[in-house]
């Protein structure tokens, strides 16, 4: 695990969240699920002030969000412009205000927990949300190439849980969950099953001694 990943893992652990199942990489950039950041905000007791609308157009919204965590205060801007940094397809509705707010809040959370610039929210760009990290194999360190790859068959859920159960160390579980093929399989599963597997991996990490203490 490199220095950046170690820092990310240590910070997430403070809030009871493992890196495995919450973070993946897109062309070397660490990306975290929006839902994971929401859980962290709840654990950290982050309080948001009412957002300030900076720009309001039919296809564009720019929102200023301020958040507090204890004595600390951070603010950030969230932007969503249809066709530029927010793409919709077909008859899909464009929720520019909701997207701008999500982006601003996620940035504030990352600033408050001191991960801003090290990891990005999945809401930052469509390529993050829709990513299938099929090229991530080239980024895997030599010691990770032995990670057993998940077979995308009809029993992927049971197969993945079995591999998680067989993992003997915290790093083994993390490497398995961060592996490109694992991420591809997870992305193809329904959200409910994906969350169940993530919780299963977290339980295995705790069983192996992963720190599960909550933030003070």
Neighbours of 83 (CB within 10 A): 10
pLDDT at position 81 is 92
Q: End of a domain among 81, 96, 131?
A: 131
Residues 164, 138 within the same domain: yes
Residue 9 falls inside a structural domain: no
Taking the mean position of all CA atoms in its chain, how far away is CA 9?
12
Residue 15 falls inside a structural domain: no
103 vs 79: CA distance, rounded Å: 7
Please, what sign has the CA dihedral across residues 122, 108, 216, 45? negative
Q: How far is CA 69 from CA 1, 142, 149, in A?
A: 29, 39, 40
Residues 104, 155 within the same domain: no
* pLDDT tens digit sequence for 86-131: 888 777 778 899 999 999 999 999 999 999 999 999 988 766 766 5
Q: Which domain holds residue 190?
A: 133-210
Residues 59, 121 within the same domain: yes
Residues 122, 36 within the same domain: yes
Residue 175 falls inside a structural domain: yes
pLDDT at position 153 is 43
Nearest to 169 by CA among 143, 194, 141, 189: 143
CATH number at residue 79: 3.30.160
How many domains does the chain divide into?
2
Residue 7 falls inside a structural domain: no
Residue 215 falls inside a structural domain: no
Q: End of a domain among 131, 160, 195?
A: 131
Residues 127, 139 within the same domain: no
Residues 99, 117 within the same domain: yes
Which regions of the chain are under pLDDT 70? Answer: 1, 126-127, 129-154, 212-216
Cut 0.75: pTM above it: no
pLDDT at position 108 is 97
Residue 10 falls inside a structural domain: no
147 vs 177: CA distance, rounded Å: 10
């Amino acid at each position: 695990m490199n220095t950046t990943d170690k820092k990310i893992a240590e910070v997430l652990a403070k809030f009871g969240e493992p890196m495995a199942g919450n973070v993946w990489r897109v062309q070397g950039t660490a990306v975290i699920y929006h839902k994971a950041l929401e859980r962290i905000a709840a654990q950290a007791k982050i309080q948001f002030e009412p957002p300030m609308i900076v720009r309001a157009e039919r296809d564009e919204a720019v929102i200023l969000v301020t958040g507090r965590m204890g004595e600390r205060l951070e603010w950030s801007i969230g932007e969503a412009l249809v066709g530029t940094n927010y793409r919709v397809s077909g008859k899909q509705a464009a929720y520019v205000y909701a997207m701008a707010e999500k982006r601003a809040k996620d940035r504030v959370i990352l600033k408050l927990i001191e991960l801003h610039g090290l990891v990005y929210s999945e809401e930052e760009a469509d390529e993050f949300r829709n990513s299938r990290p099929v090229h991530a194999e080239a980024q895997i360190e030599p010691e990770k190439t032995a990670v057993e790859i998940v077979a995308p068959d009809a029993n992927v859920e049971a197969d993945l849980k079995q591999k998680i159960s067989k993992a003997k160390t915290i790093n083994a579980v993390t490497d398995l969950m961060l592996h490109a093929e694992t991420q591809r399989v997870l992305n193809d599963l329904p959200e409910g099953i994906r969350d169940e597997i993530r919780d299963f991996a977290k339980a295995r990490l705790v069983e192996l001694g992963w720190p599960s203490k909550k933030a003070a």
